[in-house]
Amino acid sequence: MKERLNQIHDEALQEIDNINSMDGLQVVRNTYLSKKSELMQFMGKMKDLKNEERAAFGQFINSIKNEISEKLEHKRKALEEAKLKEKLEKEVVDFTLPSFSYQKGSKHPFQIIVDQVSEIFIGMGYDIAEGPEVELDFFNFELLNVPKDHPARDMQDSFYIDETHLMRSQTSPVQAHVMLKAEGKGPIKIISPGKVYRRDDDATHSHQFGQIEGLVIDKNINMGNLLSTLELFAKSMFGEKREVRMRSSYFPFTEPSVEADISCFECGGKGCKLCKGTGWIEILGAGMVHPHVLEMCGFDTKEYQGFAFGVGIERVAMLKYGIDHIRKFYTNDKRFLTQFVKE
């Protein structure tokens, strides 16, 4: 028996040496270590042995079994390592290969203007306020001094959701939201960029466009504060040499109301195609907040005054970059959009 066991031992080690795959390993393991294997069958024969022989024989079988197990385990690790090594060698990365080139995206000109204007006003201590695009008629019109039958509604009576809701036609309702929230206590200094909707369609107007509203409420605010604020804005946006002039105008929620022009940055004021020979370019609407609006929004007009302005985002961008049609902002043409990469 012992002789046969030694033979099995030698055969097993020989076979283990020759294994070169995981499958092969499993076959050898079955041959020598499964319950039905010859080696394990020997275990069953132990009961036939004499007591004094049994222990030594058991130990002998076990030592063979352990040795085969260990060798198999050793082989398994070696095979795994070899497999990993082969995989790594196959997957060599050549770091000198040229990489893919990704085209970098760029900010939309609309957003460039929003960011620049925001930066200018944040620098002057303004906060950014937001308001809803689906707005109550009450905020879009009534609180801005435009009652139901007011003719000033005509120009902006556009996209209604139902009797009381519409797509806001201007960012001015944010004025009312901010004032009501302040509960009669100043100061307020906000700008509010956002989308507005009107029935409008030509080269410089679209049914949806952007506005930036500005509102300042405090004690002793006057037209001089408005003018100097607009001058600082014009110079930061269109160059140090810009001047601002105010022409009287009409908005229901400001009194007095003005339209502000900047001196033409193309010709410096001499008159050219851009400024239609006038030397001035209209840039925004503004005025002192109407006392009735202040009162409706909870402010004591003996104590507080304010100014407001509203500027068209696309209008500023079109002037600044010489863009000739408003629709270019919305058609996502890469040839157009990639021209603003460097800003």
Contacting residues toward ligand PHE, per CB under 6 A: 170, 172, 251, 254, 285-287, 308-310
* Residues forming beta bridges with residue 78, ordered by sequence position: none
d(CA 60, CA 6): 10
Tell me the pairing of strands 134-136 and 208-218: unpaired
Closest to ligand PHE by CB, 140 or 263? 140
Least separation in angstroms between CB 116 and ligand PHE: 19
Min dist CB 170 to ligand PHE, Å, is: 4
CB atoms inside a 10 Å sphere around CB 109: 23
Helices H / strands E in the chain, number of each: 11, 9
Residue 197 β-bridge partners = 208
Q: Measure the N-to-C terminal CA separation of the chain; round to a whole number of Å.
A: 91
Cβ closest to ligand PHE, residue 170 vs residue 206: 170
CB of 151 to ligand PHE, least distance (A): 15
The amino acid that residue 141 corresponds to is F
Q: Which is nearer to ligand PHE, 145 or 170 (CB)?
A: 170
Please say whether the beta carbons of 317 and 329 come within 8 A.
yes
Indicate the residue among 42 and 251 with the shorter CB distance to ligand PHE: 251
**Cβ distance to ligand PHE smaller for residue 308 or 326:** 308
Non-local CB neighbours of 203 within 8 Å, separated by 6+ positions: 324, 325, 326
Pair of tokens at residue 231: 């001058």
CB 108 to ligand PHE: min, Å: 22
CB of 138 to ligand PHE, least distance (A): 16
Closest to 136 measured CA to CA, from 154, 163, 99, 100? 163
We find the least distance from the C-beta atom of residue 172 to ligand PHE, in angstroms, to be 4
> Which residue, 37 or 170, is less far from ligand PHE as judged by CB?
170
